[in-house]
Amino acid sequence: MNWNEYIQLLAGLIAVVNPIGAIPVFLALTAHKRPADRQRTAMIAAFAVAMVLLISLVAGEHILHYFGISLSAFRVAGGILVLLMGISMLRASDDRSRHTPEERAESYEKESVAVVPLAIPLLSGPGAISTTIVYAHNDLSLTHFLLFVAVILTVSLLVLAALLSAPKIADMMGQTGMNVVTRVMGLLLASIAVEFIAKGMIGLFPILATSA
């Protein structure tokens, strides 16, 4: 992978994690907490996001082999999932693959919401995990692995910054501003999803590459 691909990876993970879109849910779930407790929740959530993505990076290949799933098939399936998320973001509507209304209602009664539902599945849900596993197979070198780790840590730090600044961001941008950012990220996410699907289809049906 060249540097442009790492920039695309960073942008793709930011788009699929969508820390700006998680701000309203974070504020609602922590409305009754003191500022110190809200900060602790933000730090735990960001740490959990990093752990989920790092585990996906390290163990994703083994999981695919265990279930007998080819990377090409996973690219197509992951691309479809990410595409649906992108379309949902373009419409600025709730994505049930990230969290359902029932899960959100249940989370209000939980003492700690940092790991579930904030980190999983709201921030590092199926789309983020799929994106991580697919990109992890693009290069098997140590350099690629270390740069991928750096990308994941960068995304986690952005999540932390967004959640810590959630009240200020919400006041400054308003719901309309956050919807605009979500739609832009949705468009980027949909474009990346099409790339996933196209590469997966070529892997499953090599004749497509020769006929292109």
Asked if the model's pLDDT at residue 44 lies above 90, the reply is yes
**pLDDT at residue 56, rounded to an integer:** 93
**Residues contacting 58, CB < 8 A, separation 6+:** none
Can you read off the two tokens belonging to residue 67?
Answer: 């279930």
What is the SS3 assignment for 154? helix
**pLDDT at residue 109, rounded to an integer:** 46
The overall average pLDDT reported for the chain is 85
**CA count, 13 A, side-chain hemisphere, 126:** 17
**Residues contacting 108, CB < 8 A, separation 6+:** 28, 29
**pLDDT at residue 147, rounded to an integer:** 94
pLDDT digits (tens, 9 = 90+) for 95-151: 555 556 655 555 544 557 889 888 988 899 888 999 999 888 878 789 999 999 999
Which residue ranges make up each domain of the chain?
Answer: 3-211
pLDDT digits (tens, 9 = 90+) for 16-32: 898 998 898 898 888 88
